[in-house]
Structure 1
Amino acid sequence: MYKVIIVDDEAVVRIGLKNTINWNEHGFELIGDYANGREAWDAVELDRPELVISDISMPFMDGLELAGLISAQFPYIKMIILTGYDEFEYAQQAIRLKISDFILKPITAQEIRQLLDRIKAEMDEEKQRREDLGRLNNQLEHSLPLLKERFLERLVAVGLGKVEIAERFAYFNLPPISPLYLVMVVDIDDFGDRELSSYEHDVEFLRFAAYDIFNETLDREHVLTFRTREERMVAIIFGHDSESLLYEQGFSLAEEVRYHIEKYLKFTVTIGIGRTCTLAEQLPSSYKSALSVLDYRFLLGKNRVLSIIDIEGKPSGYMPLSHDLDRKLAAAVKTGAIQEAYQLIEQGVAELKTSLVPVEACMLQMQKVVLSLMNSVQELAVREQESPFEQQMKLMNVFKFKTLDEVEIWLKDMVSSVISTIADNRNYLTNMQIHRAVEYIDTNYANEKMSLQDLCRHVLMSSSYFSLVFKQHTGETFIEYLTGVRVAKAKELLHNSAMKLYEIAEQVGYKDPNYFSILFKKHTGITPKDYREKQIKGSGA
């Protein structure tokens, strides 16, 4: 069954569609009907239907504006527009928004049934195409040439000169790339609850199935895709002048990949989005930062899209060391996994003890660990501050110890201090961004068109991560907080001014006074008019 919602401001239309159509017979589950686009958008965000059937002309938010939001944030949701307006301009907008069908009213129940059958057939075909194991096996035999994948991997992992990049792109018949650039890395979390009968074969097949969806989803201009030898999936996104728009596209594509893999293959991936860069020769910086952000899966959980700008603030120019133990320790420190860090230190010291290497070699290894931790602190752009561990961070301090046991104790103390400082700094950066967001809302609440996307651009955060931390810091969603500010401002105007109700509604960001009254009563329990009269009586008393 595919989930579907109906959006139309005419109650007779909604009731007619609900009662005359046996939705289950056509493969759909009707999960709701709504009188305007704003209510429908809230439902889309909450329930994620596969199909939306909507009128165009509605109060508060029309059908095309709703289609635009759905197309931008949930591109996998199909949408059908029903309208009484036979105008070419509407049809043009519908095409641009990738609307599945644009149908003129009046439409009969029989026509609706035929339309549902056709849309279901298309959705079934799309689902079958992704789940067709025979097709995936066939494509496995005709995958992209290994040389091209290795070239692209070398381009992002090591870096190449401008001339060599141009020559290799021409040799492999790849489209030319242009700034700005962004690298996205997709890593499979696990293969879910399935039992793998012949493990190696099944794992390889599932990896290829994920890569097939990854390629199909990102099969568009200004995107290059490939796999690495570590079985990660990588995309190079390019050709944007605006850094914020490039990030927006990256988040949108990443969310689409994450959704499709979970829906059709029943396992999850975590996706890291690196920093932007202005030159193709700088792609390793974006790639390494995308890999670095994947370490935060341990802290934030699986099945997520994570961005370096959300996690680690502004670029600092420092990258973690490549040594395996150093890298793992740095990742544990960054995610605050202190017990894991302690275990890695104990493991490293134990290995040095059993290897019986000279004292100088042991000291060198400890210096490398300290240097890795210093890089982690600087990579996260930690604010300069006086703290006890800064003196311990000096490389020469390690030579004052006489045994590895003493070094182990000192190193654990230092790691504890570093983790505490990084946590304080990360909280400071997040608090500053949320503070900027609150200031922006308090300053611009009168703007009726203020959106979550506008706010995220202002603070340079992704909408998904912003929503998470904003709720944690304020206890409310963005819409709840904005509505609270507007209602509070309206109360002040009702109490302290003689402005008419429609003037107050517009003053606090609502062009429609009726909608303003509904919201006001929902939050205060009384209408604006009753509230004003109550205040006047209270003053008179």
Structure 2
Amino acid sequence: MKVFLVEDEIVVREGIKNNIAWEKEGYQFVGEASDGELAYPLIRSMKPDILITDIKMPFMDGLELSQMVKKELPDTKIIILSGYNEFDYAKQAIHIGVTDYLLKPISSAKLIEAINKVREIIKKEAQEKELLIQYKQDMNGKTVIEKKNFFFEIIKNKLTLLQVLEKGKKLGIDLAVGAYSILLLKIYSKNNPYEYSGYLIAAIAEIDDLLQNSVDVIKFELENEIKAIIIKAENEKKLEILIKTYCNRILALLQDKSDIEYFGGIGSIVTRISELQDSYHIANRAFSARYFTKTNQIINGSMLEKVNTYHNDMIDMQAIDSEKMNKSHLDKFLKNGSKEEINHFIEEYLLSAGNVNIKSILFRQYIIMDIYFCITAFMESIGYSKDKIVAELGSFYNLEDFIASVDASKKYMIRLLYKAFTLRDAIARQKYGEILKIAREYIQENYDKEDISLNTVASIVNISPTYFSAIFSQETGQTFIEFLTETRMNKAKELLMCSNLKTTEIGYEIGYKDSHYFSYIFKKTQQCTPKEFRFRGKE
């Protein structure tokens, strides 16, 4: 621990420096000066842990020096030595944030005693910082949810520019640049999009490391394990280079991993935060193309062909993209798609029919019936009866209304898919219930294990940690770590009231091998220390 001394009386200064065995006491005496003006640049350079300064000195006194040091180095602790037992000096020192105020003359023994007390304060504060960092890391799941909500607030233009910047600052997100683009990316197991595997976790971890260690990107975890990445730069030209760079890096990390698949969609470049919704729209449209094209690529949405207006009602068989109209694409979308992607999927699906053909009433009728029966088959496959399906989707009694125009047909197809996804998600929630039941039981039985984590519990229910984290929060209203902490705290309170175990032993019993961290978490969640809780119960 480094100590710096400022004292204008040379006899006093030499006495303090030479009469204390600094190294033996565990300190490093790093410098000295005769006044504040000479001391300040040295202090800035050496960054001592403890500054000892006289109060009355020429050129710059101890109070002025202390004020400057506290502003520049707020963690440095200051001990003031003064020959003036005046309240005004002490009052000013307290206001500045001085740690101790000692009166001269003072013996070496008394001074080292005061310095040792300050050292204990420094150690305690350092420990508090470490515990806070660990706590924030443990509670990271909550931040992920807050960031996701913030992303959609931006995309839906729910916030003013000032609100975006202020909220972003609280979340550690800086959006004050000149150009932006959005990349949507999904990485999943090749055979089962919801399957948990070590290969998948390793691949996602590599991508997360790439994205988290850069100031140029902001990563958001969305539903269905989709990553939304805002790439930002000073201007459009630099952003174009960054987009290519990050796409190439992502492809390089994933290209040789045969057990996984991935797909990405890039939005347009925009120059305002309020225009990010446009970039997201284009990115989402490109991302939806994964149901119609090969996987393991990143598509630039700005390069996709736009859906044009339709000119006549002839059917042109040459214009039909039979590969994109393959029912397997629709079936894949029904299994893995999201409601947010429905509009873009229908646009791409109709585009594959050919601009000319979709003008035909007969052709639109064929497509609508094909989609309807495909949805019906899918609904039956996940457990719905035909009566329930017809009741939810409706019948064809008003088919002529749905095929009357291109716009009416699109709206009807979108409505069909939206209802299908609502039914599918209801079944999924029932499945989630079983997954969460298993997860809760595992936590209740294993909360005392130090190594229990989101990853270990996700592996028990055989889904990826990101997906498990999302459904756990969605269905319980708590993050995984909040539930685990609550379980541990309930057991801790029981042991505090019903046993003679020491606090250290109780922390160990419920999974905290670091007793300091256990006490920190307990106070953070229960608003009192374990000792206070135990005493309160015995009153």
Q: TM-score, normalised by structure 1?
A: 0.41
Larger radius of gyration: 2
Q: TM-score, normalised by structure 2?
A: 0.41
